[in-house]
Structure 1
């Protein structure tokens, strides 16, 4: 089994795709008007319209209501990303902070209120975990 993607359901695919293009530098691939993907090195961020849930015959995903999942991106320099994202991200939740497990972390919200973590290993032990 291979973990392939995370999908965010939104009421405005274009707005969210543009935000993530600017935040990550990854260009979105548009597979349909209501569905875009940002293909990362290890996982794809998929962005789907709330309309796509009808194709599954389910209304289980509700846009702009997530308060449990964090979308995490490994970056080179958290502090540089903080400077770049200030003004782009609607809300900075936590300025760059070194966490007890050795990662330097920046938490912010995307335009739908989803929590995003840009992080980088900051200790030798944390770097060793990501060297695998």
Structure 2
């Protein structure tokens, strides 16, 4: 199974100010997907993602809070999030599972868990043609 670090996401109550800070600090332009989500991609392929608190309930209510040492989600792009979930479910404590796999509005099927230190970790698989294209993946094969 292939696993790649896709991005680091910061949750904030004031997305405009935080995006402006990172654009200024890095001299990289943000790409806004929605008014509640922006990304800054580096030439090396690393991405800093910034989401407003309004995006948090899409993963799981109250799973992240800005400024409370719970504002970062580490994200991994995986081949098959459902297969990964079957493997992880056997050893991740139920109390560390925030949201079992579900498809989110932007086209990713996502599994949200906490690591042993409480940091949120999102394993995801792009499932819509647009989301798959974003990561340079071939279109889904319909059966």
TM-score scaled to structure 1, two decimals?
0.49
TM-score scaled to structure 2, two decimals?
0.46
